[in-house]
Amino acid sequence: MEWIHPMPKIELHAHLNGSIRDSTLLELARVLGEKGILVFSDVEDVIQKNDRSLAEVFKLFDLIHMITTDHQTVTRITREVIEDFALENVVYLELRTTPKRNDSIGMSKRSYMEAVIKGLRAVTEVDVEFCNSQKLHNSCDGVGRKKIYVRLLLSIDRRETTESAMETVKLALEMRNVGVVGIDLSGNPLVGEWSTFLPALQFAKDNDLYITLHCGEVHNPKEIQAMLDFKPHRVGHACFFKGQDWEKLKSFQIPVEICLSSNIITKSISSIDIHHFDDLYKAKHPLIICTDDFGVFSTSLSNEYSLAVSSFGLGKRETFSLAKSAIDATFAEDEVKQQLRLIFDSASPEYV
Ligand code: 6MZ
């Protein structure tokens, strides 16, 4: 499956702090260990573990946030994550992150996001187009440096209050000119109530921000129905959907971000051969293969495509069409979608 790596790909479900290189996390943890802020050997074991329950994943995020949440590090990890995606031929990336406030180091949600933007600007390995005011490159020449379009989604963590969620939405509205296109609701699915986030999400939708929700990552039938009734522009996971949830999802034609390794490792789905990818794919329902947290789950987008190919018997041409179909599910402007179609069209002779 060596053809998967060079194939142009679109990533729509990637959390910044879940997509950090292990080497960077270990390097940062070592420095904090030397300062006596944490015990490096404990952290090393946690970072290098590969098998994690959903509860362990959220404990790991608390640890990662402790290691990464200062302006300089946020800038660094943003730059590295974009370079890593671009180097495996991701041509369009929607990167999501939770704006964080930490008064003790003078960090506000806004300054956190400014550090992210600084990271976008700091990429030197590849060309990055992240805001619609930038001149669009003709990216289909097939020669020269790699180029990646990046758009940002601001995440609301399920631990947040309505006010805090609203602050994030207002920040997203103010940052539209630097590539922010939408809002994501994520965080530990066992925490928080849908009614807490609804006012902020409705406000976002009313102001034309795109919305994607982590939906059905755990068993919660009422919340799944309420989320679908909200008609988000996309959902992530959909692991615990039942009959009427699938009916609603399909009748509303809501695209699903599929994160195979994440679902299997966290045991949200017990085995890949019963993953809902198969049914949705056969039903021609819009779906997008994504990584979720390539650092936490030790994967890559190419690896996720390989998993889909080997588990569900997709051929080369079908895989390419699936990758291309993700264009329609992006939250990008029409001009960008047009550029992406050109990129895929110029690569298509390799995949027929
Ligand atoms: C739900 C997840 C997640 O925002 O700090 N996050 N939320 N389900 C998942 N499946 C495993 N993976 C990541 O990135 C880390 C944050 O993204 C959310 C969690 O809120 C986590 O703290 P940022 O960049």
How far does residue 71's CA lie from ligand 1's centre (Å)?
19
Q: Is 311 exposed, middle or buried (0-12, 13-18, 19+ CB in 10 A)?
A: middle
> Residue 154 has what pLDDT?
98
Q: Compute, in angstroms, the gap from residue 136 CA to the centroid of ligand 1.
A: 31
Verify whether ligand 1 is closer than 6 Å to residue 15 (CB atom). Answer: yes
Share of the chain above pLDDT 90, in %: 88
Any domain includes 70: yes
Q: Is 193 a catalytic residue?
A: no
The span from the CA of 213 to the CA of 288, in Å, is 14
**Interior/surface letters 1-25, b for 16+ CB within 10 angstroms, e for the rest:** eeebbebbbbbbbbbbbbbbeeebb
Residue 86 placed within a domain: yes
Number of domains in the chain: 1
Question: What is the distance between the terminal CA atoms of the chain, rounded to a whole angstrom?
Answer: 15
d(CA 260, ligand 1 centre) in Å: 16
Nearest ligand 1 atom to alpha carbon 217 = 8
> Residue 134's pLDDT is what?
56
Pairwise CA distance, residues 104 & 106, whole Å? 6
Quick: pLDDT tens for 95-142: 999 999 999 999 999 999 999 999 999 999 999 998 865 544 444 444
Whether 119 is in a domain gets the answer yes
What range does the domain containing 282 cover?
Answer: 9-350
**203 inside domain:** yes
Please state, in angstroms and rounded to a whole number, the distance separating the CA atoms of residues 202 and 144: 43
Give the per-residue pLDDT at 126: 93
Q: Is residue 317 part of a domain?
A: yes
The contacts of residue 43 (CB under 8 Å, 6+ apart) are 29, 33, 63, 67
Q: Is 184 in the pocket of ligand 1 (CB under 6 A)?
A: no
Alpha carbon distance 188, 159 (integer Å): 8
297 Cα nearest atom in ligand 1: 11
Instruction: Give 349 Cα–ligand 1 centroid separation in angstroms.
Output: 37
Q: Is the CB of 61 under 6 A from ligand 1?
A: yes
Catalytic residue among 217, 223, 257, 304: 217
Q: Provide the β-strand partners of residue 182.
A: 153, 210
ipTM summary value: 0.99
Q: Is residue 330 included in any domain, yes or no?
A: yes
Question: Residue 268 pLDDT more than 80?
Answer: yes
Strand residues in 158-254 grouped as ranges (E): 180-186, 210-215, 234-237
Please report, for the domain that includes residue 338, its CATH number.
3.20.20.140
pLDDT band at 247 (very low <50, low <70, confident <90, very high): very high
Instruction: Tell me, yes or no, whether 266 lies in a domain.
Output: yes
Q: Which residue owns the Cα nearest ligand 1 atom 15?
A: 17
**Using one digit for the tens of pLDDT, what is the confidence trace for 183-208?**
999 999 999 999 999 999 999 999 99
Residue 2 lies in a domain: no
